């Protein structure tokens, strides 16, 4: 899931797939696999500027607000990619899964921060080009690991667009080739666009806009007061009041509510006694300045509190500029790092005008203190204490069934691999190839590997010629395999080049 993936990435851990694509998907796989990781991510991630971008993307992504509709779309896309990778998938099931993805995309509503970030991730990390529009180079892992699309993406019919924050408005389809790609000037350009997007996110903007994002997402989120107090829960309501500004009236958040288990924290550590057990049914708290008090409330000293009648063990009333009033007996005043975070009242009544927001019968009232909400981000502040359960898809990738015939073919591949690795037994290649021709005439990849070995060791020229003739016939009679066979021959020739041999000689495996 995107949220978990981003959090791992923030800690410089790249979550990878361990499956292997089917041979019919050798050019392009609809589902990530180990080839995608090894040929796509591994070569480019060693660039320090790029790897720093990945880590920063993870940090930003871990804060991004996400909705359940995002997760439902993710599940639908995942289901479709799994079906497309199955060797004998039912076309009707694939068609139905495709329609489900389209339906989820249409009903996504206003894209969440995570949905928009996922698009930026796709058009850079997975399918990014770099350089100029006329002569771009590939760095996206999805392109690097796709034999077919790594070539077709550079053709004129694939639209090349200068990369900018506007890429967030372009959805993508994980299961097919992309009709357009975005070209970055350099890796620093990627970071610039990411920071531009981050500056619009709730964790940096805060305020009413951020709170509304948290409510819309209907997931566990955290609102952080300017005092540093962090409220983690499912936000359901925000009361507002109108304030005049240079641009006319604007709405200000004055009271927030959560539903269900809620916890309070400071600097991402749960406050003792303020976990989900205490706030099991939800939490409500005012926001803003107090009436007739000129300083931000979180900055008030004990002497200043005493001067306005807020003393532990005595009754007090706090009147907010928003017309919210809190009246009750002060039981405890909590500070952290010099900031006033909470005032706990007993026998407390909270009202906004005629509306009752808290009744004394509900128990003690923990009044949050803070002039404003400075940050809102996805998930709980203290994930360990909150015991937040990540959304995880129930569906798992399906391994292709291995019948007797397939196992025999795999055995032939293994025998050839053993000969290659041990550098002995070359005389057996002819027998293995004849067996493949007789029992698995549709297979061509094993023949290509045998041809490559024979060319490298300079043995059995007659067998090599027969294998080459077979491969050329495959290319002539099957357009889908023509490019693959041609590239196979080109790779064999490349292995004879001095630059390749120099690299090969220096490799640890050699």
- Residue 399 located in a structural domain: no
CA distances from 142 to 8, 166, 209 (A): 19, 21, 35
Q: What is the pLDDT of residues 443-481, one digit of tens each?
A: 999 999 999 999 999 999 999 999 999 999 999 998 888
Residues whose CB is less than 8 angstroms from the CB of residue 219 and which lie 6 or more positions away in sequence, other chains included: 65, 66, 67, 68, 234, 378
From 140, 114, 298, select the one nearest 203 (Cα to Cα).
Answer: 114
The boundaries of the domain holding residue 414 are 404-506
Distance CA 476, CA 437 (A): 17
| 3-state SS, residue 448 | helix
Is residue 364 located within the same domain as residue 412? no
Is residue 325 located within the same domain as residue 455? no
From 445, 467, 444, 446, select the one nearest 455 (Cα to Cα).
Answer: 467
- Residue 209 located in a structural domain: no
What residues does 327 pair with on adjacent strands? 317, 349
- Residue 497 located in a structural domain: yes
- Chain centroid, CA 433 distance in Å: 45
Distance CA 329, CA 348 (A): 7
Say which CATH number the domain at 107 has.
Answer: 1.10.800.10
Residues whose CB is less than 8 angstroms from the CB of residue 397 and which lie 6 or more positions away in sequence, other chains included: 17, 19, 31, 82, 85
Q: Assess contact for 316 and 328: CB atoms under 8 A.
A: yes
Distance CA 182, CA 128 (A): 6
Residues whose CB is less than 8 angstroms from the CB of residue 16 and which lie 6 or more positions away in sequence, other chains included: 32, 34, 37, 41
Is residue 72 located within the same domain as residue 171? yes
Is residue 410 located within the same domain as residue 351? no
Distance CA 436, CA 409 (A): 7
- Residue 220 located in a structural domain: yes
What residues does 336 pair with on adjacent strands? 339
- Residue 395 located in a structural domain: no
- Residue 203 located in a structural domain: no
Task: Identify the H or E element spanning 488.
Answer: helix 479-494
Is residue 170 located within the same domain as residue 315? no
Centre a 10 Å sphere on the Cβ of residue 281 and count the other Cβ atoms it contains: 11
CA distances from 472 to 443, 457, 480, 487 (A): 13, 21, 13, 12
Burial tier of 147 (Cβ tally within 10 Å: 0-12, 13-18, 19+): middle
Residue 391: the pLDDT is 59
- Residue 490 located in a structural domain: yes
Q: What is the pLDDT of residues 267-309, one digit of tens each?
A: 999 999 999 999 999 999 999 999 999 999 999 999 999 999 9
Q: What is the 3-state secondary structure (H, E, C) of 122-181?
A: HHHHHCEEEECCCCEEECCHHHHCCCCHHHHCCCCCCEEEECCHHHHHCCCCCCCCCCEE
Residue 510: the pLDDT is 56
In the DSSP assignment, the letter for residue 326 is E
Q: Assess contact for 375 and 203: CB atoms under 8 A.
A: yes
Is residue 341 located within the same domain as residue 221? yes
End-to-end CA distance of the chain: 39
| 3-state SS, residue 260 | strand
In the DSSP assignment, the letter for residue 459 is -
Is residue 220 located within the same domain as residue 176? no
In the DSSP assignment, the letter for residue 390 is P
Is residue 158 located within the same domain as residue 69? yes
Is residue 277 located within the same domain as residue 193? no
Is residue 119 located within the same domain as residue 147? yes
Is residue 14 located within the same domain as residue 92? yes
Distance CA 395, CA 381 (A): 29
Render each residue's pLDDT in the chain as its tens digit; 510 residues: 677 888 889 988 888 888 787 777 777 777 778 888 888 888 889 899 999 999 999 999 999 998 778 788 888 888 888 887 777 788 898 889 888 888 888 887 788 899 899 999 999 999 999 999 999 999 999 999 888 888 889 999 999 999 999 999 998 877 678 999 999 999 999 999 999 999 999 999 999 999 999 998 888 999 999 999 999 999 999 999 988 777 778 899 999 999 999 999 999 999 999 999 999 999 999 999 999 999 999 999 999 999 999 999 999 999 999 999 999 999 999 999 999 999 999 999 999 999 999 999 999 999 999 999 999 999 999 999 998 666 556 666 666 667 888 899 999 999 999 999 999 999 999 999 999 999 999 999 999 999 999 999 999 999 999 999 999 999 999 888 888 899 899 989 988 888 877 776 766 655
- Residue 356 located in a structural domain: yes
Task: Identify the H or E element spanning 413.
Answer: helix 404-422
Is residue 95 located within the same domain as residue 166? yes
Say which CATH number the domain at 458 has.
Answer: 1.20.58
From 382, 351, 377, select the one nearest 365 (Cα to Cα).
Answer: 351
Q: Which residue has the tokens 């923030």?
A: 10
Number of domains in the chain: 3
Boundary (domain end) residue, out of 386, 415, 438: 386
Q: DSSP for 284-319, please give it.
A: EEE-SPBTT--S-GGG--HHHHHHTT--TTSEEEEE
């Amino acid at each position: 899931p995107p949220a978990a993936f981003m959090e791992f990435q923030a800690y410089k851990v790249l979550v990878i797939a361990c499956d292997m694509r089917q041979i019919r998907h050798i050019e392009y796989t609809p589902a990530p696999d180990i080839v995608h990781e090894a040929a796509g991510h591994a070569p480019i991630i060693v660039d320090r500027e790029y790897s720093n971008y990945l880590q920063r993307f993870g940090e930003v992504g871990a804060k991004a607000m996400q909705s359940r509709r995002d997760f439902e779309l993710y599940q639908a896309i995942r289901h479709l990619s799994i079906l497309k990778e199955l060797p004998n998938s039912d076309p009707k099931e694939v068609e139905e899964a495709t329609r489900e993805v389209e339906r989820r995309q249409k009903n996504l509503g206003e894209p969440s921060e995570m949905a928009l970030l996922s698009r930026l991730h796709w058009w850079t990390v997975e399918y990014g080009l770099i350089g100029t529009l006329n002569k771009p180079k590939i760095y996206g892992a999805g392109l690097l690991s796709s034999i077919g699309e790594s070539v077709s993406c550079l053709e004129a019919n694939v639209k090349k667009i200068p990369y900018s924050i506007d890429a967030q408005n372009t959805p993508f389809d994980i299961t097919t080739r992309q009709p357009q790609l975005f070209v970055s000037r350099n890796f620093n350009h990627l970071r610039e666009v990411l920071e531009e997007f981050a500056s619009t996110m709730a964790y940096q903007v805060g305020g009413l806009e951020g709170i509304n994002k948290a409510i819309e997402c209907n997931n566990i989120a955290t609102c952080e007061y300017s005092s540093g107090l962090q409220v983690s829960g499912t936000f359901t309501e925000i009361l507002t009041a109108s304030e005049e500004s240079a641009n006319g009236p604007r709405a200000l958040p004055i009271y927030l509510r959560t539903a269900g288990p809620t916890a309070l924290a400071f600097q991402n550590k749960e406050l003792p006694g303020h976990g989900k057990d205490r706030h099991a049914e939800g939490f409500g708290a005012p926001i803003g300045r107090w009436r007739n008090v000129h300083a931000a409330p979180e900055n008030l000293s004990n002497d200043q509190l005493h001067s306005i009648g807020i003393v532990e063990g005595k009754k007090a009333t706090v009147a907010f500029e928003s017309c919210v009033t809190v009246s009750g007996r002060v039981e405890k005043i909590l500070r952290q790092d010099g900031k006033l975070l909470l005032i706990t009242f007993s026998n407390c009544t909270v009202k906004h005008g005629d509306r009752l927001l808290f009744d004394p019968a509900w128990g003690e009232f923990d009044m949050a203190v803070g002039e404003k909400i400075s940050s809102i981000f996805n998930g709980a502040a203290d994930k360990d204490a909150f015991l937040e359960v990540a959304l995880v898809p129930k569906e798992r990738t399906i391994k292709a069934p291995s019948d007797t015939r397939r196992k025999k073919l795999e055995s032939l591949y293994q025998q050839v691999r053993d000969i290659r690795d041990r550098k002995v037994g070359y005389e057996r290649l002819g027998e293995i190839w004849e067996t493949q021709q007789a029992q698995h005439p549709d297979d061509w990849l094993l023949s290509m590997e045998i041809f490559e070995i024979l060319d490298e060791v300079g043995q059995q020229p007659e067998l090599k010629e027969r294998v080459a003739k077979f491969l050329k016939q495959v290319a002539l009679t099957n357009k889908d395999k023509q490019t693959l066979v041609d590239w196979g021959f080109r790779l064999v020739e490349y292995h004879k080049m001095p630059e390749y041999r120099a690299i090969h000689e220096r490799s640890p495996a050699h």
